[in-house]
Amino acid sequence: MSLANKYRPDTFDKIIWQDHITHILKAQMKNEQKNNHNYLLFGPRGTGKTTAARILSKAINCLDLQDGNPCNQCANCNIINKWQTFDYIEIDAASYTWVDNIREEILDKVPYPPTQLKKKIYIVDEVHMLSKSAFNALLKTIEEPNNAVWFIFATTEIHKVPETIVSRCQVFNFKKVLKETMAPHLQNICNLEWLSFEDEALNLISDISEWCVRDAIKYIDQISVFGSISMENVSNFLGIAGESMVKDFLALIKAKDRESVFKKIDEIHDQWIDLLQFAKQNIMYIDKSLMSDIDFFISVSEVFSEIIATAKYYPYPTMIYKIAINKFLWQNKQTTKHQETITQEDKTKEDLVVKSSDWIEKNQNELENPISKEKQILNQIIEKVESKTLKDSLRDHTFIKNISNWKAHFIVINKIAEIALNRDDTKNNLENIISEIVWENIKIDIQFQSKEEYLSNIL
C-alpha cells in the first residue's frame, strides 16, 4: 500500500489542522442533528475535503459511532471503504464524462431509497465544474426534502458554485495546512516508517507540495526508495534546489557578478534541477524574506516572473535566465565584466533564441486557432493525473508526437521527467487514462530528446 493511502485519515480525529470543522461534524453525528443533509466543503487543493467527505459518509451510516467518528469496522463502514455498495457514489465533476451524464447518473436514481446503507450518499467533487443545466437539475433534487439521500459537495472554487446551491448547504471552509503543522506530521510518518530524514528536506517537501499533505506523503514515499529523506535525495529526485542554493544565487545577482551568475545557472542546470521550479522557489524565498532587503527583492522578483512567463513557450531555460538577468543587471548598471564572459556556446544558444521567436509565435497562433488533437489529448491527460509532479512533467517537458496503431509516441525533453514517466506504475496509469480518453487500448512509447534536438526538429 502506498504511504499516501496508508496515512490517509479514516476518522475525523486523524485529520490535521481542520479542527474547527471536524469538531462540528463530530458533534452533529453524535447528536443526530441531521436536518440539513447537504454539505459543501470548500478550500484549496489538498486540504482534506474529499477525505473528510468520505469520513462523513461513513459516520452518517456507521452502526457503532465512536465519539462521532466512524468505527471503520462495522458492515456499513466496511462496504463504503471497499466501494461495495451503490448507495455510496463518488462523482468527480472535473471529469468531462460526468458533466453531461449527471442527470441520468444522479437524478434518475435519487428517488430510489438506499438498499444497504442507512442513507444514500452522493459525493460530488469539484462541483463548480458542472454545467448550468446540471446545476439546475441538481437544485431541483436538493430542494425536495428526501431524508434518505445526502449530498456532500466539494470544491476549490466556491465562487463558481451558484448561490442557490450554496444557500441550501452547510458550508465548511477548509484552511491551508501551515508548514508548522505539516512538518511534525511528516516527521511522525518518517518515524513510524523507520525512515531517516533531514529537517530541511522535509521543509522543502512541504514547500514543493504547496502544503498539500497527500502530495507531501507521496513524495516521501517515492524518495524513500533511495534510502533516506535527505536534501540530496530530494533534490535529485524532484529536480529541486535547497534553500541555500536559492540564497546563494540571489546573492550573486545582488553582487552584480554576471560571470559567476551565468556559471551558476549552467551548474544548476547540469545538476538536473528544474529551472522553472527554481524560479518559483526564488519567488517563494523573496516573498518570505521581502522585508530584509525590500528594494533589491522587489526589483529582482520581476526577473523571475519574466523567466516563468517565458519558460512556458521556450524549452531552453538557461538562456532565458541569462537574458532576463542580463537585462536586469544592465538596467541596474555597472556590471563589472561584459562581452568577454559570453562564450561561443552561449552565442550559439543566442541564435537559437532568435530562431525560437518564430516558434513562440507559432505556438501562440496555436493557442488562438484550434489546437492539435495530440495537444488536446495531452491536456486531458494533465487534467486527469493526480500527482502534481507528474502534471508538471507532462505540461512542461512532454509532447505527444502522434498516436497511431494503438501506440502513443511521447517525446520528453527532460531527463528527470523521462525517468518519472517511465516508472511502471506511472506508465500504466497514463496508459489507462489515455485509453479512456480515446476509447481504445493504447500503449505508450516514451522517447527522450534533448531540448536542443527537440527545438531544432520543430523549428
Closest CB to Zn ion among 71 and 419? 71
Q: Which of 24, 71, 353, 438 binds Zn ion (CB under 5 A)?
A: 71
Q: How far is the CB of 77 from Zn ion (least distance, A)?
A: 3
User: Does 62 interact with Zn ion (rule: CB under 5 A)?
Assistant: yes
Question: Checking phi first, is residue 107 left (phi over 0); if not, alpha (psi -120 to 50) or beta?
Answer: alpha
For cell 522587489, what's the residue?
A: 298
Closest CB to Zn ion among 60 and 138? 60
Please state, in angstroms and rounded to a whole number, the distance separating the CA atoms of residues 425 and 440: 19
Nearest CA-CA partner of 271 in 263, 281, 282: 263
Neighbouring C-alpha atoms within 13 Å toward the C-beta of 353? 17
Segment interacting with Zn ion, rule: CB under 5 A, options 63-71, 184-192, 376-384, 420-428:
63-71
Closest CB to Zn ion among 57 and 233? 57
Q: How far is the CB of 68 from Zn ion (least distance, A)?
A: 12
Q: At what angle do helices 275-289 and 317-331 cross, to 10 degrees?
A: 40
Amino acid in position 207: D
Q: How far is the CB of 59 from Zn ion (least distance, A)?
A: 8
Start-to-end CA distance of the chain, whole Å, equals: 45
| Strand partners of residue 41 | 154, 172
In this structure, which long-range contacts are made by residues 198-202, counting pairs with CB atoms below 8 Å and at least 24 apart in sequence?
Answer: 198/228, 198/229, 198/230, 198/231, 200/231, 200/242, 200/243, 201/229, 201/230, 201/231, 201/233, 201/234, 202/229
Segment interacting with Zn ion, rule: CB under 5 A, options 23-31, 56-64, 120-128, 185-193:
56-64
Closest CB to Zn ion among 121 and 169? 121
User: Does 421 interact with Zn ion (rule: CB under 5 A)?
Assistant: no
Scanning 62-110, the segments in alpha helix (DSSP H) are 75-81, 96-102
Strand order in the sheet with 149-155: 88-92, 120-125, 149-155, 38-42, 170-173
Segment interacting with Zn ion, rule: CB under 5 A, options 25-33, 69-77, 90-98, 183-191:
69-77
Closest CB to Zn ion among 73 and 331? 73
Q: How far is the CB of 67 from Zn ion (least distance, A)?
A: 12
Segment interacting with Zn ion, rule: CB under 5 A, options 21-29, 61-69, 325-333, 439-447:
61-69
Q: Which of 24, 74, 171, 183 binds Zn ion (CB under 5 A)?
A: 74
Q: How far is the CB of 162 from Zn ion (least distance, A)?
A: 34
Q: How far is the CB of 62 from Zn ion (least distance, A)?
A: 3
Q: Which of 16, 29, 55, 77 binds Zn ion (CB under 5 A)?
A: 77
Segment interacting with Zn ion, rule: CB under 5 A, options 3-11, 22-30, 40-48, 58-66:
58-66
Q: How far is the CB of 81 from Zn ion (least distance, A)?
A: 9
Closest CB to Zn ion among 57 and 310? 57
Segment interacting with Zn ion, rule: CB under 5 A, options 73-81, 98-106, 315-323, 408-416:
73-81
Q: Are 125 and 95 in contact (CB under 8 A)?
A: no
Closest CB to Zn ion among 62 and 189? 62
- Site mask for Zn ion (CB under 5 A), range 392-411, x = bound: --------------------
Closest CB to Zn ion among 75 and 178? 75
Please state, in angstroms and rounded to a whole number, the distance separating the CA atoms of residues 114 and 361: 57
For residue 426, what is its C-alpha cell?
506511472
Q: How far is the CB of 75 from Zn ion (least distance, A)?
A: 8
Segment interacting with Zn ion, rule: CB under 5 A, options 25-33, 74-82, 192-200, 380-388:
74-82
Give the gyration radius of the chain's Cα atoms: 25
For cell 462540528, what's the residue?
A: 24
Please state, in angstroms and rounded to a whole number, the distance separating the CA atoms of residues 358 and 425: 38
Q: How far is the CB of 114 from Zn ion (least distance, A)?
A: 15
Please state, in angstroms and rounded to a whole number, the distance separating the CA atoms of residues 180 and 408: 43
# residues contacting Zn ion (CB under 5 A): 5
Please state, in angstroms and rounded to a whole number, the distance separating the CA atoms of residues 51 and 24: 16
User: Does 79 interact with Zn ion (rule: CB under 5 A)?
Assistant: no
Closest CB to Zn ion among 71 and 183? 71
Closest CB to Zn ion among 117 and 238? 117
Closest CB to Zn ion among 74 and 94? 74
For cell 501551515, what's the residue?
A: 178
Please state, in angstroms and rounded to a whole number, the distance separating the CA atoms of residues 266 and 261: 9
The binding site for Zn ion (CB under 5 A) comprises 62, 70-71, 74, 77
